[in-house]
Amino acid sequence: MKNRQVDRVSRRDCLQLGLTGLLAGGLAGGLRARQTATANTTDRQADACILIWMDGGPSHYETFDPKPEAPLEIRGQFRSLPTKTPGVHFSQLMTSLSRISNKLAVVRSICHNQGNHGAGNHYMMTGAPPRIPVGCGAYVSFHPSLGSVAAKLLGAPHGIPPYFSLPRMSRSGGPNFLGAKYAPFVVSDDPNSKSFRVPDVTLPASIAEGRFSDRQQLRREVDRLQRLAHAAAGDPVAAVDEFYQQGLQLITSPEAQAAFDIHREPDSVRERYGRHPFGQRALLARRLVAAGVPFITLYEGGWDHHENLFDRFEEKVPRFESTVAALIEDLDAQGMLERTLVVALGEFGRTPKINARGGRDHWSNAMSVLFAGGGTPGGLVVGATDRQGYAPVERILAPENFVSTVYRKLGIDPGQILYTPEGRPTHLVSDATPIAELMA
């Protein structure tokens, strides 16, 4: 689907201009307004976040909050599975994650009042409820997303974009008033393909390396011409130069090229993640974190199970959860998990009672969220729903608490005031209280 939102199209389209557009100043224009900002790093626990977005709203019953004592029409067909954490059970298909539950924390008590996809997505992606009613299929942006705020306040080295979304952007994953330069860099191609490469950061075949160098030299000669008299006081051409160099670095940086070159990974590692699109995107996310990218969204659709839920879960979940476990274990083995936050969630949970079509419908009164790394204590369950999973009864939490937790771990003050281009002040998060149990 083609992106039609202005704050999402502009930056992506600038990058898609490739080298020709770059040399013509197109990418420089797109980067011109980039600002360097600093997060409050005093209590920073994580350098990066990988947000696994389970689009559609995964069932909390069939993932992390089974109800084995409930009637069959509520508990469903799956058994509960004991995990490595004494007394904690997941649903029976979560075999790999149950084995490493000592590295995980699950929050079972987040709830809100936005029971459709568009509104729920916005609330969980931004920490701000929609200002007006939003339909299920809507792409809305009333507030900057987690990834866009991280991009603005944290940045990334070597000319690499600070915010990625693979293979597409979530409905409300954009920058809103922060501007197009903080939209995600979307890598839609399949990293599982043998021919995978990121076309926007490679030199076009039509421009040989020597010809490329000649063009750079020509531009340097032109730049030696005397600037306007007011150059020292803020020459706009000098500002263009700065962002031209950033765009150029994205194409020519060895670090950027290495981060995208998933083919450097041993076959054994690629097999462990799973030789399928989601598995290889998770591996690419780990490589991007190693290159200094502070925020990556792994978009994984297909969780809106209004019918035939159990057959679809048996097909989907084993591959998905084994990849998530492989990502967490690989980060841990490489010494990266302590400084990398991994979260997995969707926009809401699912209804307690199984419907006539063998599925569960939208249910924002209860949902589960998985956390790992970034200083998060392992072997932990926060909150609880009632015996039949209708609603939280312990540690009732809101999307604001979830978003504030992610910000706090990244060293970003969720209580700060942001200003729109018109000068209007707005809270980053209206309730800036993180989930205390998850904070080291």
User: For 137-176, what is each residue's pLDDT tens digit?
Assistant: 777 789 999 999 999 999 999 889 999 999 999 999 999 9
Residue 193 to residue 40: CA distance in whole angstroms = 40
Residue 355 to residue 365: CA distance in whole angstroms = 17
Check residue 106 and give its pLDDT: 98
- pLDDT band, very low/low/confident/very high, at 200 (cuts 50, 70, 90): low
Among 33-47, 193-207, 215-229, name the most confident range. Answer: 193-207
Strand 384-385 with 380-382, pairing? unpaired
42 closest CA partner among 386, 410, 422, 435: 410
Check residue 300 and give its pLDDT: 98
Which residue spans of the chain are classified as CATH 3.40.720.10?
38-132+142-171+188-194+264-438
H/E stretch holding 8: helix 6-16
Is pLDDT above 70 for 305?
yes
Helical axes 399-409 vs 146-154, angle rounded to 10°: 20
158 closest CA partner among 253, 295, 293: 253
Higher pLDDT, 136 or 289: 289
User: For 55-112, what is each residue's pLDDT tens digit?
Assistant: 999 999 999 999 999 999 999 999 999 999 999 999 999 999 999 999 999 999 999 9
Region for residue 310 given its phi and psi (left: phi exceeds 0; alpha: psi -120 to 50; beta: otherwise): alpha
78 closest CA partner among 61, 97, 95: 61
Is pLDDT above 60 for 2?
no
Is pLDDT above 80 for 51?
yes
- pLDDT band, very low/low/confident/very high, at 280 (cuts 50, 70, 90): very high
Check residue 355 and give its pLDDT: 98
Give me 59's structure tokens. Answer: 């069932």
- pLDDT band, very low/low/confident/very high, at 253 (cuts 50, 70, 90): confident
Q: Does domain 38-132+142-171+188-194+264-438 have CATH number 3.40.228.10?
A: no
Q: What is the pTM of this model?
A: 0.84
| 3-state SS track over 261-309 | CHHHCCHHHHHHHCCCHHHHHHHHHHHHHHCCCCEEEEEECCCCCCECH
Q: Percent of the chain having pLDDT more than 90?
A: 71
Mean pLDDT (the chain) is 85
Is pLDDT above 90 for 223?
no
Residue 163 to residue 161: CA distance in whole angstroms = 6
Give me 421's structure tokens. Answer: 């281009």
Residue 404 to residues 62, 124, 391, 429: CA-CA distances in angstroms?
27, 11, 22, 7
Can you tell me whether residue 46 is helix, strand or coil? coil
